[in-house]
Structure 1
Amino acid sequence: MVTAMTSSVSVDDLSPGDHACLTYSDAEERLDIVAAFVRDGLGAGQKVVCFTDQAGMTDLASELAQREVRAPRRGQLTVRDNERSWIGSGRASAAGMIDVLAGELAMADQQGYAGLRVTADMCWATQPVAAVDELLVFESKVAGLFTGGRLTAICQYDRQSFDQVTLAFAAKAHPRAVAAAVYYEDPLLRICRQHVPPGIRLAGEIDYQRLPELNHALAEALRLGGDIHVNLVHLRFLDAAAAAAIGRAAAGLPPGRSMVVTGPRLVAKMFALVGASELPAVRVRVVHGRP
């Protein structure tokens, strides 16, 4: 039976036994949520298995390493090939997919882990040898594996790869939905929380008119503690007022905390112009290849 989906939650709010859906269009946002999910599972002593397409296996492992997500125990984190895991040499079936997860869960128990976390990119279901109808049956019938609280999973659906009917069914089939914490969004600017490394991420264009929203996001990051990472890699325009606001937030950090700002050359130039790059607590990292 498919039940109505609850409201979206942050990845930090997931509990053992949750079966969640992540529909995404921003690849970096997806990676951030997946990295946080993996990090939290490793920290809780759970085994973590990430299913992705073969071409993305190395990329996903690299992205997790760049975000300093590492397993404290050898074999605790594995990245698996979607096609080999779900389809094999034949055609995917709901029963076969459930058996794969049940086997992973039993193995995690035998190895002494506190539970199993699984994150799966579901784009494999769009291949000709796959069957979207079997995927839908799987999402409906897999609930039994979650009842003991030993399995926690996020199923990832790319909005560009699935039709609206399938996306709507996937949303209803999952008791939980995961989404980024968005502080502000309009056609020109998006400000959201970044989980790994912790901080905020901006994309688009920002000027003095959006200082209240920027200051609110920075205040939330300050409240969480630790160093703050301000990701401006996908920012096309930044004015002096916005750069100065970020600098003021860094200047107000207590001793021992710092701010890392990552972005294109235009960000470094604007920070230098307003003097923010000279602050002791600020480190500016330039992403080469961007204007």
Structure 2
Amino acid sequence: MVDEARDLGPGGHYCLAFDDRAEFRRQATTFLREGVEHGDRVLYVADATDAELTEVAAELGSAARPGAVEVASARSMYGADEVVDPAVQVRTYAEATAEALAAGFRGLRAAAEITVLVRSAAQRDAFARYEQRIDRFMTAHPFSAVCAYDRGALGASAVAELACVHPAASAGATPFRFFAREGVDAALGGEVDRTGRELLARTLDRAELDLRGGELVLDATELGFLDHRGLLLLDELGRREEVVVALRGAPGVVRRMAGLLQLAQVRVDTAA
């Protein structure tokens, strides 16, 4: 895990779990200022007052070309109790990215404090699905984002549901990461033990992966540990969807454990 939303580059996707709104503003403006310096159009979204939004716009716009900086209230954009439509939300950012490119910018960066959108279980379910969809979009398009959630308002378990579907997240926000990577169906990093099995099961249910090819390939080069419960979960997925779950680059201990379990639907290819 990392503690700062820095040097993400085009396609970067970071989950900031914060305990202090001042910390969100600091990291968000640093991330967006870096984007301005690199020629991106930037967007700051927060559950904030008009005065704060005006301050941020002035701070970011002082060294920016015209049209480079946009600010918006999360409530004005989404409402306070809405359940987002994942497809519509991805389309919105895809269109905004295309507009930024057409206007001569290198791409689009967004820093969004969106706690207001994930307070209920239904909101989190929809938003976690959206986070996985937009993560796949980012692997092939010049859009990067910091998605920020108030840990005090939501609680650790709710934050973990959202943090785990980012390539990078604040330290302690999630035990593992399940995210998009070019050339494979997804990547699995971090550690999955007894306490993480339920979260992984929920994440896989929300993944909306294309399972028609007979094989689900997961890049496991960033995986530190996957216990027998996690392997059994992947085997259950394989049986249910009639695919082989291939873990590429997994630690040797995972391969040995899979061999002992004699899993029919999981293949482990260890790192060289």
Partner of residue 146, structure 1 = 138
The aligned residue for residue 106 of structure 1 is 98
Gaps spanning 5+ residues in structure 1: where? 1-6, 180-291
> What CA distance in whole angstroms lies between the structure 1 residues aligned with 2:34 and 2:12?
14
Cα distance in 2, alignment partners of residues 178 and 39 from structure 1: 20
Give me the whole-angstrom Cα distance separating, in 1, the residues matched to 2:133 and 2:106. Answer: 24
Aligned to 1:220: none
* Counterpart Cα distance in 2 of 1:85 and 1:71: 26
Cα offset, 1:111, TM superposition:
0.8
Paired residues for 1:1-291 under 5 Å: 7-53=1-47, 55-63=48-56, 65=58, 70-87=62-79, 91-126=83-118, 131-178=123-170
Q: TM-score, normalised by structure 1?
A: 0.53
Determine the C-alpha separation between the residues in 2 that align with 1:30 and 1:149.
25
User: Offset at 1:10?
Assistant: 2.9
Aligned residue-pair number? 171
Whether contact under 8 Å (2:110, 2:144) holds in the other structure is: yes
Secondary structure at 1:173's aligned position in 2? Answer: coil
Contact 2:53/2:73 (<8 A) preserved:
no
**Identity within the alignment, %:** 27
1:172 aligned partner, one-letter code: C
Letter in 2 for 1:50: Y
Matching residue's letter, 1:42: V
Q: Distance in 1 between matches of 2:75 and 2:93?
A: 14
Residues 90-144 of structure 1, C-alpha deviations (whole Å, 9 max, x = no match): 752111211111111111111110010011111121467x822211111122122
Determine the C-alpha separation between the residues in 2 that align with 1:149 and 1:137: 19
Could you tell me whether the CA contact under 8 Å between 2:124 and 2:161 is conserved in 1? no
Structure 2 unaligned spans of 5+: 172-272
Is the 8 Å Cα contact of residues 45 and 113 (structure 2) preserved in structure 1? yes
Alpha carbon RMSD of aligned pairs, Å?
A: 2.7
Distance 1:71 1:108 in 2: 18
Distance in 2 separating the partners of 1:36 and 1:48: 11
- Asked if structure 1 preserves the Cα contact closer than 8 Å seen for 2:35 and 2:109, the reply is yes
Residues 221-279 of structure 1: per-residue CA shift (max 9 Å, x gap) = xxxxxxxxxxxxxxxxxxxxxxxxxxxxxxxxxxxxxxxxxxxxxxxxxxxxxxxxxxx
Counterpart-to-counterpart distance in 1, 2:143 and 2:19: 26
CA distance 1:82–1:27, change in 2 (3 Å):
closer
Tell me how far apart the structure 1 counterparts of residues 4 and 118 of structure 2 sit (CA, whole Å). Answer: 27
Check whether the contact 1:9–1:176 (CA below 8 A) recurs between aligned residues: no
Q: Contact (CA 8 Å) 2:61, 2:69: kept in 1 or not?
A: no
Runs (4+) off by over 6 Å: none
**CA, structure 1 residues 109+90, in 2 after alignment: closer, same or farther (shift >3 Å)?**
same
d(CA) in 1 for partners of 2:24, 2:57: 12
- Letter in structure 2 aligned against 1:43: E
C-alpha distance in 2, partners of 1:95/1:41?
26
Counterpart contact for 1:38–1:69, Cα < 8 Å:
no
Question: Given the two structures, how large is their TM-score scaled by the length of structure 2?
Answer: 0.56
Cα distance in 2 for partners of 1:120, 1:61 equals 16
Which letter does structure 2 place at the counterpart of 1:79?
A: V
Q: Supply the distance in 1 between the matched residues of 2:60 and 2:17 (Cα, whole angstroms).
A: 24
